[in-house]
Amino acid sequence: MNTRSFWQHHAPLLAMIFLIALAVRAYRATNEGAINPDIVRFVDQARTLLADPLTAVRQEAYHPLHALLGGLVSRLLPTSWFSHDNFRILAGLRIVGITCGALVAVLIFILARQLGARTWPAAAAALLWVVGRRTSVFGADAMSDMLFLACFTGAAICTINGLRQLTRHRPASIPFALSGLFAALSYLTRPEGLAISLITVAALATLLLHQRVPLWRKFLRRRATPTAPVLRAIATHLLVLALISAPYILTIGGLTQKKNVLPAPILQPASLATIPAIDPYAWAKIGKEIFETFGFAPCIVLGLAMLLKPRLWGRPRLRPISSIWFTLWLAVMLWLLASAGYLDGRHTLPLIILLHALFALSFIPIRRLRAAAKPLAFAAFLFAIAPGLAQITDPHRADKYYLQQAAHWVDTNAGSNAILYEHHKVVAFYAQRPATRIHTLDFPGTQRELAPLLAQTPAQPTYILCHVADVRIAPPTLGAFRLATTFKSPLPANHDGLLIYTSP
């Protein structure tokens, strides 16, 4: 792929995709009423990083790049636009997420074209990301998913470009240096960003392997790639990755402080022995997430192509690299999928597997299919984006506005000397007057966690805020504390809400 001609030919289309994605995510951000505990942690992390970076890196389990960028962007926003600093930092985080989410749509198009897809299916895959029911909110919620995925996809694009140059016996140091840069940024955003480096090194090792194994040489049907350039590419990628990531790794004393991501250091074979038994229900839930994320269109197009012409599996020139890359991608992602605690990931799995599905979609040269395939594929694409177009406002987020109402109640009724005990500080985030004390608790463990407090009458006004899954079973008292008010989701099907207990 000629980089200069590619940008000259596709610049208007890429600009249109980026602007549409930007507009959709900005609109979703205006309808994003929910502040979850993770977002509150990012806001607190951003504030601490700007004040004391070293302490923040050592104490916070979340990787710092997203919070740092959000905090820096928030410094550029006028303070007069926001009621207090929490919302200014939140706006900075959302600006980073929205921009990266729109950039991911462009990267999806580039990735699909780089693997051999024609322009219209690549654009369809990008637009599917832009208007999907689930994917259109990614980035607008101020989470780190989009920055991670933008860097992750950028590293994948650079790696594929470098592999192609190596097989054509051209210098490939710059693509693999960029791949190491984006992989490091991806890792500094989320720990699973190391997966792209695993795939890159495995793909380069495969190029070395095929020189010595006759089966690989027959499969690749090309001259052997010289050893020195491949080793130089591996060294370049790992060197750039290490230079950027090493300060953070040395500061925290390991690869990550998030205990539920990897059960052991990723480079230790012993970690494979800790993979737990796979829960079928969890896999069914993941399957539902995947289909909701990227729709049915890629699966329908892929199945249709294999049914009409089973021998179509990529263009002949790209088939070896594509097949090897796809296999390595699948192996690494399945390993991460099976790692301890990873089945409960928020959005990372469906986002990564979205690219996984895009690989399969881009392998199909649509122009060689029968004439009937195009309208059927286009109909499948419309079927996939219909839920996104119909639910672009995604009202399931609006039911969390009761948290803002609870914060207003606290501001109105709690005095300046009041003490608040709350789960994850969500209401305290909204409150104009920050709580003087915060205690993390969850219901029904409240009585056990607050036993010393419940056993005596506090000397100053005290409020206990309990987030519950069903407000209908709320007890009227907790020790000497009485139930003052209840805030419930306005949706009839939801019974979750917030209980506020006050001291006598």
Cβ-based neighbours of 345, under 8 Å, separated by 6 or more: none
Give per-residue pLDDT as tens, 238-251: 999 999 998 888 88
Q: What pLDDT is recorded for position 389?
A: 55
The top-scoring range by mean pLDDT among 107-111, 155-159, 180-184, 347-351 is 180-184
More confident residue, 265 or 203: 203
Confidence (pLDDT) at 493: 61
Is the model's pLDDT at 182 over the cut of 90?
yes
Domain end marker among 390, 415, 438: 390
CA-wise closest residue to 443 among 496, 396, 482: 496
11 lies in the same domain as 97: yes
Q: Domain check: are 7 and 35 in the same one?
A: yes
Asked, for residue 267, whether it belongs to a domain, the answer is no
Contacts of 470 by beta carbon, 8 Å cutoff, 6+ apart: 495, 496
Co-location of 20 and 79 in the same domain: yes
Q: Which residues contact 197 (CB under 8 A, 6 or more apart)?
A: 155, 180, 183, 187, 237, 238, 241
- Range in 90-94, 107-111, 477-481 with the lowest mean pLDDT: 477-481
Greater confidence, 437 or 112?
Answer: 112
Length, in residues, of the chain: 504
Q: Give the separation between CA 147 and CA 92, rounded to whole angstroms.
A: 13
**Residue 466: predicted pLDDT:** 74
Q: What pLDDT is attached to residue 137?
A: 72
For the chain, the average pLDDT equals 68
pLDDT of 327 over the 60 cut: no
Q: Quote the pLDDT of residue 239.
A: 94
- 326 and 184 in one domain? yes
Return the higher-pLDDT residue of 198 and 31: 198
Residue 155 shares a structural domain with residue 239: yes
Mark whether 325 and 306 lie in a shared domain. Answer: yes
Residue 272 has pLDDT above 50, yes or no: no
CA dist., res. 68 & res. 45, Å (int): 8
Q: What is the pLDDT of residue 277?
A: 45
Confidence of residue 181 (pLDDT cuts 50, 70, 90): very high
- Tokens coding 342: 């990873």
Q: How many domains does the chain have?
A: 2
DSSP assignment of 87-125: HHHHHHHHHHHHHHHHHHHHHHHHHHHHTT--HHHHHHH
Structure letter (DSSP) for residue 69 = H
pLDDT above 90 as % of the chain: 7
Residue 212 has a pLDDT of 53
| Residue 262 falls inside a structural domain | no
**Tokens standing for residue 405:** 């109402």
For 347-405, the pLDDT digits (tens) are: 444 444 454 444 444 444 444 444 444 554 455 555 555 555 555 544 445 555 677 77
Lowest-pLDDT range of 5-9, 196-200, 271-275, 329-333: 271-275
| Residues 288-311, mean pLDDT to the nearest whole number | 45
Any domain includes 334: yes
Strand, coil or helix: 157 = helix
User: What does the pLDDT average to over 149-159?
Assistant: 86
**Is residue 464 packed enough to be buried (19+ CB in 10 Å), middle (13-18) or exposed (0-12)?**
buried
For residues 373 and 412, state if they share a domain. no
- The neighbouring-strand residues paired with 499 are 466, 486
Q: For the segment 38-81, what is each residue's pLDDT rounded down to a tens digit? A: 787 888 888 888 888 888 888 777 888 899 999 899 989 888 88
Looking at the structure, tell me whether residues 200 and 138 fall in a common domain.
yes
- Contact by Cβ (8 Å): 325, 359: yes
Determine, yes or no, domain membership for 265.
no
The helix or strand, by DSSP H or E, that contains position 208, with its residue range, turns out to be: helix 194-209
Co-location of 377 and 430 in the same domain: no
Q: Which residues pair with 487 in a beta bridge?
A: 498
Secondary-structure breakdown of the chain: helix, strand, coil percentages, each rounded to the nearest 5 = 65, 5, 30
Residue 33: inside a domain, yes or no? yes
Q: Is residue 438 domain-shared with residue 289, that is, in the same domain? A: no
Which residue is it, tokens 């004391």? 52
* 179 in a structural domain: yes
Q: In this structure, what token pair is assigned to residue 203?
A: 């793909």
367, 390, 413 — which closes off a domain? 390
Mean pLDDT of 87-109: 88
Domain boundary among 330, 357, 390: 390
pLDDT tens, 210-226?
555 444 444 444 455 67
Distance (Å, whole) CA 383 – CA 365: 21
Q: Are residues 191 and 213 in the same domain?
A: yes
Q: How many CB atoms lie within 10 A of CB 459?
A: 8
What are the pLDDT digits (tens) for 467-496? Answer: 776 777 777 877 777 888 888 776 666 677
457: containing domain:
397-502
Tell me, yes or no, whether 325 lies in a domain. Answer: yes
- Between residues 209 and 183, which one has the greater pLDDT? 183
Rounded CA separation 229/332 (Å): 24
> Which pLDDT belongs to residue 251?
83
Q: Domain for residue 86, yes or no?
A: yes
Whether residue 105 is predicted with pLDDT greater than 60 in this model: the reply is yes
Helix/strand number for the chain, H first, E second: 20, 5
Q: Tell me: do 59 and 163 sit in the same domain.
A: yes
Taking the C-alpha atoms of residue 217 and residue 214, their distance in angstroms, rounded to an integer, is 5
